[in-house]
A and B are shown apart, each in its own frame.
Chain A
Amino acid sequence: MATHTIACPFCGLVCDDLGLDQDRVDVRGCAKAAAGFARRPAIVEHRIAGRAVPLDEAAAAAAKLLGGARLPLVSGLAADLAGIRGLIALADRLGAVIDRWQSSAQQANLALQQHAGALTATFGEIANRADVVLLLGADPAARQPRFFERLLRNGGALYRTAPPHVAFIGPAAAAPADPAVSERVFVAEDALLDAVGALAAIGEGQKLAATTTLPLPALSALAERLAAARYGTIVWDIAAFPAAARGAALAILLRLMRQLTRRTRCVGLPLGGEDNAQGAATAMLWQAGWPGRLSFAAGVPQHDPWGNDAERLVAAGEIDALLWVAALTAAAAPKSGVPTVAILAADAPEAAAEVEIRVGIPGIDHGGAMLRADAVVALPLTAARPSGLPSVAAAAAAILAHLPAAS
């Protein structure tokens, strides 16, 4: 039986070299993919108050619940691109807030791009070109298990003749074990911002006074390496920085990259993109004009990074209904205390929701598309084990169809 290759939806790399033989997936040694493809449906019926109903009946109840709310929240958003498109349409019609769950780190990256800009590159460019790589804050493999294999230990790189020099800067406990890493410079979490500042300052030719909190000689050497690189690449996990330091750290990193670009090339790569986070941000950009933190309550899209933060809205009790969507993950809806419609993958445990709609996992139960973390490449997802479970897009469309016509 010939094997064909499929893409994996379980992190922002969206590796597309997994093997599929009948319904067996060769996960290329990735534990995260193994766990993802091992997911099996447990609950497949849709429910209203615990009672099994057909999809259409559940959708009608969901429309009634959400349509009657003053300020519903659409969150979770762990769906393929078609699902995201459908959920934004639904939020627009409902006059709802729509925002991913726990997206503060992603929003920090996006906010800097909005207000200052970016110097960046896609995976394929970095994999073929990067000769000096800085990893800031965390082990990329923690989010993207095959990061090193796919981007830095790849054979056949077009433009580099030797393996890249890969240096980690961050807490010892978060240091990557991957053999591609040639240097580990330990800096405590609360000194990460200072380390980034020192790198930039050294790069700009400033002399820094000796300090006990920062390994200045190592940072100086790295600043020199970046300046001498043909294609330096700085990879960061902004979630590894203290929340209050994120904006400043990103601004300094951009300054550093701009400074380096005067003489050579240097690009940045923010880590992330799990659960099609980049697809959600991009679809919100094209449909509404902003990459998240959106409210349609006034009949127009409005972006408020603080006001429309899903976690804050739930914590502050400002919403009166929740539409929770988790298909790529099996994440349960947060405790919100408000009437809830949950669109859930069939392996998610029973939900404390008034209406429960069970959907397939994109890339397992049905096909679809997902955007890689680099925001450029969308990959097709294959139905590895096709099932009759509806998609998020179908569920969203069914709910929309039960809402009264827009006025």
Chain B
Amino acid sequence: MITRLTGARVFDPANGVRGEVRDLFIADGRMAAPTDRADRSYDLGGLVVMPGAIDIHSHIAGGKVNLGRLLMSEEHRDELVARGPATRSGSGVATPSIFATGYRYAALGYTAAFEPAMVPSNARATHLETADLPIIDKGAYVMLGNDELLLRLVAAGAEQERINDYVAWMMRATAALGVKTVNPGGISAFKFNARGLAIDERGPQHGVTPRQIVQMLSRAVFELGVPHPLHIHCNNLGVPGNIDTTLATIAAADGFPLHLTHAQFHSYGTEGDRHFSSAAARLAEAVNRNPSISLDVGQIMFGQTVTASGDTMAQYRNRAFASPGKWILMDIECDGGCGLVPFRYRDSNFVNALQWAIGLELFLLIEDPWRVFLTTDHPNGAPFTCYPHLIRLLMDRSFRNDCLAAIHPAAQKATTLGSIAREYTLEEIAIATRAAPARILGLAGRGQLGPGAAADITVYAEDGDRERMFAAPRHVFKAGVEIVHDGAILAAPPGATHVVRPDYDPAIEGVIGAFFEQHMSVGLGHFRLSEGELADAGLSLVAQPCRPRGRA
């Protein structure tokens, strides 16, 4: 069956298509070469077509998200999703139930979202949960850098190759697409009652510094050929003056690629009466200068949400701002942790207002749209349902300035946002939400509409109000099937799970096995996921290419 989409303006940055009117062809769920035959035709004259959007960093599943759901019970009660002919019921916005998560993403034109903080020991539970995630593609980054065995190996002076083997083994064992490190060394240090860890500070027990961890992990990910660079949540999240840590982290990677996640939370200075200032310009300058650095912003939006993070050390500090006043901290299996703190960001609060402006400054001051990704760090800065509003802020300067005029007056004075003229174009939005995420994650045939690519397609009606435009796609196709039409979910087939499978020297398994045997509460054979069990749970795995790279 061949489906033809005619007459739309197409934005397909990966293939250099920049709003030209093109006909598109779909065969067997993939984009196909032009042909005269078509079994079905959609007249999309006057409409805008982009590849399905991809969220590179969104906390959508796993133990931490479930604790978030627990804390957000009031919101769940107020935000109910009725079951429909093709859909399950659900609830919640900041921590939507898994079905609601898939439907809402699809209804916004997203066809993939990636869980960025999978603790190794929670991998099985996380994947089994995403077996229920409808429609969108998914995958997860495994959290390393606070795991006891890695810290030991680093402390013992293990060669880079051993670290590479360990990372590769962990990625395969947990069916991961990428590697994330969260407050490297800091989560472990907090378990020893440390309340902070600076980048060159020796952690408890092993005396390993965050810098060493960043160096070895960023290099491991590069040398293994994992497409996505080390995804890093730097030390000192949320602390005024943390820009120094963030810049030092970039330096620590020694030129190996790094992806700085929710960079907004790591771009703070200490200037001004309140000792809290924007350092977005400093970070943007560093990113503009360093082609090996990418980031996602983690934009905040005013309103209620819950922060969900592996960073127990930071979340313990943040408990003071919990609203409502409840919070959860959990230490996990000598490999990680999680902390949940509900937040209400207020435009009348100086710090929150400036955080909002800092995120937008980052978006607008970083020149290369291929290296800055549109995220709210869902749900930490705001629920992903805010994306259309965020897109309007980026595309519409006068709207942005109207919003700016409504925030805390001292924050208005402390930001350069009002003087920034840049407006994102539709092409730049298509890059930052489609082409660039697919490229940096190494997703073959995603985020683009060339022949052979997955036919994940979003169709919008042109609207000067970009929020309205992006909030309500006319059609969304997943693997060539129309699954959303004018906001209604027509079908909810499961998406794929993307993984990479780097190679390792099997000798590492002896080291890991002995460690598990002596110290851990599960055996190696049960820690490791099997492809059979994932398939039995209904997951279909897609292995993305991974080619080892020599030393840089």
Contact = CB atoms under 8 A, between A and B. Distances in A.
B73 A16 contact: no
Given A125-B332, A379-B522, A286 B70 contact: no
Contact of A380 (B81, B119, B530): B530
B327 A265 contact: no
A349 interface: no
A376 B191 contact: no
Contacts of A150: 521
B125 A125 contact: no
Nearest to A121: B331
B122 A376 contact: yes
B330 A289 contact: no
A142 B522 CA distance: 22
A92 B83 contact: yes
A300 B426 CA distance: 37
A231 B125 contact: no
B193 interface: yes
Contact of B326 (A85, A117, A265, A405): A117
Contacts of A290: 69, 73, 76, 91
A153 to B, nearest CB: 13
Given A125-B332, A285-B69, A291-B70, A301 B89 contact: yes
Interface in B69-88: 69-71, 73, 76-77, 80-85, 88
B519 interface: yes
Chain B CB within 10 Å — which of A282, A289, A369, A376 has the most? A289
B75 to A, nearest CB: 9
B89 A288 contact: yes
Nearest to A291: B70
Contact of A289 (B84, B97, B121, B530): B97
Contacts of B533: 367, 369, 380
B310 interface: no
A205 interface: no
A16 B520 CA distance: 11
A156 B519 contact: yes
B262 to A, nearest CB: 23
Interface in B309-366: 316, 326-334, 340
A158 B334 contact: yes
A125 B334 CA distance: 5
Interface in A82-132: 82, 85, 89, 92-93, 110, 113-125, 127-129
Contacts of A306: none
Given A117-B328, A301-B89, A125 B71 contact: no
A198 to B, nearest CB: 25
Interface string A347-376: 000000000000000000001010100011
Given A82-B537, A380-B533, A124 B76 contact: no
Contacts of B330: 118-122, 376
A288 B97 contact: yes
A231 B69 contact: no
A129 B121 contact: no
A4 B327 CA distance: 41
A369 B124 contact: yes
11 contacts: A85-B132, A119-B329, A120-B328, A155-B518, A158-B148, A283-B129, A285-B70, A288-B90, A376-B121, A377-B333, A378-B128
Q: Which 10 A-B pairs have the closest CB atoms?
A: A289-B91, A124-B521, A124-B333, A300-B80, A289-B76, A121-B331, A378-B125, A378-B124, A156-B518, A117-B326
